[in-house]
Amino acid sequence: MTTATVDDVLIDTNVLLEATDERRRHHADAVALLESGAALTVSAQVIREYLAVATRPVTANGLGLSMADALANVREFRREIRLLPEERPVLPSFLGLLARIPCSGKRVHDAHIVATAVAHRVRTIVSLNPGDLSGFTPDVAVITPSQALGPRDSTTAREPVRRWRGAGRRSRTRSP
């Protein structure tokens, strides 16, 4: 099993989506978090969810990206974010959470993200929907990107380096 560092945080799917789509309300915070140098982690499930939403048509609440652009984004995310493996310890953690906190439907996916954090000793998840991931265990805190970034001095704020292929664009590449 992978052992987390003290500051490891697991990034939820919506943070990656927010960083990709500059029209979204929390885009700047999501980009700032991904560029912060923090010890960021992600699960394979989050990557699968990102690919599903990123390639879904805009009319169906997706980003409308081609699979090639979405995969390029995942490669860029992986430069800054460590992938937590889905290995044997995740399943017992997941089944244990479901036994203690009954849930159904989409919430089962949320339980799996929390179980991945528990199995890898990651004590914080960053999400734009903290309520979706809260309440499964007191061992994992769920915070927003803004909370993860902490207080910032607006006089020293810098323009984020945009390096992900955004919604509706075909050639958003990493800045030099």
> Which pLDDT score is estimated for 164?
58
Q: What are phi and psi of 29, to 5 degrees?
A: -65, -40
- Domains of the chain from N-terminus onward: 9-148 (3.40.50.1010)
Between 86 and 10, residue with greater pLDDT:
10
Find where tokens 């979405």 sit: 70
- Predicted local distance difference test score (pLDDT) of residue 7: 74
Question: Would you state the torsion angle of the CA atoms of residues 104, 107, 109, 115, taken in this order, to the nearest 10 degrees?
Answer: -100
Look at residue 153 in the predicted model and tell me its pLDDT. 53
Residues 18-71: pLDDT tens digits? 999 988 999 999 999 999 989 999 999 999 999 999 999 999 999 999 999 999
In the numeric block, the tokens 């980003």 are attached to: 63
- Residues of the chain above pLDDT 90, percent: 69
Give residue 165's pLDDT band: very low, low, confident or very high (50, 70, 90).
low
Structure-model confidence comparison of residues 81 and 163, the more confident one: 81
pLDDT surpassing 80 at residue 93? yes
Pick the closest to residue 125 from 114, 109, 138 (CA basis). 114
pLDDT above 70: residue 4: no
